[in-house]
Structure 1
Amino acid sequence: MRSNHSGYTRLSKVHKFSAAGLGAAGAAAVAFAVVSGGPAMADARPAVKPVAFETKALAGQGQGESARHADEAAARAKTEAAAKVKAEADKQRAEKQAANRSTDRKPLQKPAAPAPKAYGNDLEGWIAQALDIMKAKGIPGSYEGVKRNIMRESTGNPHAINDWDINAVNGVPSKGLLQIIDPTFKAYHVDGTSWDIYDPVANIVASCNYAADKYGSMDNVNSAY
């Protein structure tokens, strides 16, 4: 070994190579350590990255679920609101129709009583009115039978009076269209007619009621009765 006068030790080629070898070995070791550490770190990093990715994916999925639920809730709310609007419209339409029917429906009214039948104030009218009353009361007699006896007894004069027969002698003269005496008129008077013996309708009805009792009908009378 040579001494170095400058205070440094000079390396021989062998030493240089040795140092170089050591340097290379050290560099290789460092490189190996780095390379060895690299895969380990590379293995660690993928383990972290999927977790982060999975967390983001779950977060995105949760947001998607929330959005879907929100959309479904909004759709349900819209459907329910439309149903309420339709129900209210149907209710108002039904109420309007009911009101219209109530307005259109006229209140029930009792049928008006028929107007009283008009009769002429003459012999034909008196007989017609008397026959209607007799029919209602169940008293027999026909137009022909009534008129025939009227014409024989009074010739159609409602104020006729007999002052010469036995009844007149006894103080109870025959009166009216069918020449009936007062006691008989009162006994066979028909309700709803006048109590005036000279009233033509009352006189006919009472006389026919009497004839029905005594002879079966005024139709059976052909002479004084």
Structure 2
Amino acid sequence: MSASSIPGRLRRMNKTQKLSVAGISAVAAAALSLSLVPGNADAETEPQAISGAPVIFASAAGASQAKTIQSSVIEQHSTAEQLIKASDSAKAKAVSKEKAKKAKAKAHAKEKAKAKKAASKRGKQGASRSESRTPVFSNNLDGWIKESLSIMKAKGIPGTYDGLHRNIIRESSGNPKAINDWDVNAVNGVPSKGLLQIIKPTFDAYHVGGTPHDQYDPVANITASANYAADKYGSIDNVNSAY
């Protein structure tokens, strides 16, 4: 083969053949470099078979790159752990917040129930005190007049203790069962009855609600008679004789 024919043949090589030649050249250069290493100068170098597998050469740059990759992996692992911890912390805070919210709602409901119970208790106590303040009238002429005056005041019927007492004594001497069976009313079949000697038609017409519908009942008799006197005379106080 002549030197002048080599360039032409190289030009006719395909891409794969060119890469093979480049690889062989690189390996040859590496082998030459190794043969020049001190300590191996006297050793005979035997021809080495060249395989098609890629040749990997360790270098300081490769070691540095490996360390960089390792550091990146460690850093990513650390970041992942931090993200997990942050997520767990957020979940814990959310759970704690929800528990606090439920506890607050429970406490509010408890306070509301307590306030309602206290209000109910105060209402009962108030009713009890109101009942205890309700006057108790004695079952005698003094008590009957005072109870009648209390009802008359509530109903807007005028009259005083003195006016009632004075007319009662004149009409019945304070006897709630007194009855007149001799006057014109008795002759007509409607005798005057009770403390203020009121006849049935008048009692029915001027009866005060809340009292018994009974002419002989002391309070019913007094309040009906006072109601009639207020209508006819302005007040029982203005009555000084039969009315």
Structure number with larger C-alpha Rg? 1
**TM > 0.5:** yes
Cα gap change, 1:139 to 1:52, in 2 (>3 Å)? same
- Match of 1:149? 167
Alignment of 1:118-133 (within 5 A): 118-133=136-151
Alpha-carbon separation, structure 2, partners of 1:86 and 1:182: 82
- Match of 2:191? 173
- Match of 2:22? none
- Kindly state the Cα deviation for residue 102 of structure 1 after the two structures are TM-superposed: 5.1
SS at 1:153's partner residue?
A: helix
Query: What's the TM-score once normalised by structure 2's chain length?
Result: 0.64
Alpha-carbon separation, structure 1, partners of 2:196 and 2:149: 14
SS at 1:130's partner residue?
A: helix
Alpha-carbon separation, structure 1, partners of 2:88 and 2:80: 12
| Ranges in structure 2 where 5+ consecutive residues have no aligned partner | 1-31, 38-56
| Ranges in structure 1 where 5+ consecutive residues have no aligned partner | 1-32, 39-46
Cα gap change, 1:183 to 1:95, in 2 (>3 Å)? closer
1:215 aligns with 2:233: yes
SS at 2:231's partner residue?
A: helix
**Selected match of 2:90 from 62, 70, 80:** 80
Cα gap change, 1:181 to 1:49, in 2 (>3 Å)? same
- Kindly state the Cα deviation for residue 151 of structure 1 after the two structures are TM-superposed: 1.0
SS at 1:159's partner residue?
A: coil
**Selected match of 2:154 from 127, 136, 142:** 136
- CA offsets 1:142-178 (integer angstroms, 9 cap, x no match): 1111111111111101111223334334443322111
- Match of 1:202? 220
Alpha-carbon separation, structure 2, partners of 1:169 and 1:86: 95
How many residues were matched structurally? 183
Amino acid at match of 1:123: L
1:93 aligns with 2:103: yes
Cα gap change, 1:149 to 1:92, in 2 (>3 Å)? same
Percent identity reads 50
Amino acid at match of 1:200: P
